[in-house]
Amino acid sequence: MELLGPLKFLPLYKNKLWGGNKIKAILRYDYSPLPNCGELWALSAVPGNESVVTEGPLEGNTLNELLEIYMSDLVGDKVFDKHQNEFPLLIKFIDANDWLSIQVHPDDELAQARGLEGGKTEMWYILQADKNAKLIKGFAKDMSKTEYQQSLKENSLETKMNYVNVNSGDAFYIGAGTVHALGPGILLTEIQQSSDTTYRIYDWDRKDETGKGRKLHINEALEAINFKAEKTNKVDYHIHNNQSMPMVDEKYFTTQILHFDNPIEKNYDELDSFVIYIVTQGSFVLKSHQGDMNLGIGDVVLLPAITEKIELHPLPKATLLEVFIK
Share of the chain above pLDDT 90, in %: 92
Q: Is 155 exposed, middle or buried (0-12, 13-18, 19+ CB in 10 A)?
A: exposed
Is 89 within 8 Å of 276 (Cβ atoms)? yes
- Average pLDDT of the segment spanning 254-269: 97
Is the pTM higher than 0.75? The answer reads: yes
3-state secondary structure (DSSP) of residue 150 = helix
- Average pLDDT of the segment spanning 183-203: 97
Handedness of CA 299, 304, 305, 306 (dihedral sign): negative
| Helix, strand, coil share (%) of the chain residues, nearest 5 | 15, 40, 45
Rounded Cα distance, 238 and 248, in Å: 12
- Average pLDDT of the segment spanning 145-153: 96
E-assigned strands of 211-253? 245-249
* Strands of the 39-43 sheet, one edge to the other: 12-14, 39-43, 89-96, 186-193, 122-129, 171-174
Indicate the domain borders of the chain: 12-222, 245-324
* Strands of the 199-202 sheet, one edge to the other: 161-165, 134-139, 180-182, 102-104, 199-202
Whether the per-residue pLDDT at 267 is higher than 90: the answer is yes
Q: How confident is the model at residue 211 (pLDDT cuts 50, 70, 90)?
A: confident
Query: How high is the mean pLDDT of the chain?
Result: 96
Is 260 within 8 Å of 312 (Cβ atoms)? yes
Return the pLDDT at 172: 98
Rounded Cα distance, 304 and 299, in Å: 16
Q: Which residue is catalytic, options 28, 114, 200, 206?
A: 200
Give domain 245-324's CATH architecture. Answer: Sandwich (2.60)
Return the pLDDT at 209: 76
Contacts (Cβ under 8 Å, ≥6 apart) of 27: 40, 93, 127, 187, 297, 298
200 is catalytic: yes
63-94, pLDDT tens digit by residue? 999 999 999 999 999 999 999 999 999 999 99
4-47, pLDDT tens digit by residue? 999 999 999 999 989 999 999 999 999 999 999 999 999 999 99
Is 98 within 8 Å of 18 (Cβ atoms)? yes
* Superfamily (CATH H level) for 12-222: Jelly Rolls (2.60.120.10)
Rounded Cα distance, 12 and 276, in Å: 17
Return the pLDDT at 156: 96
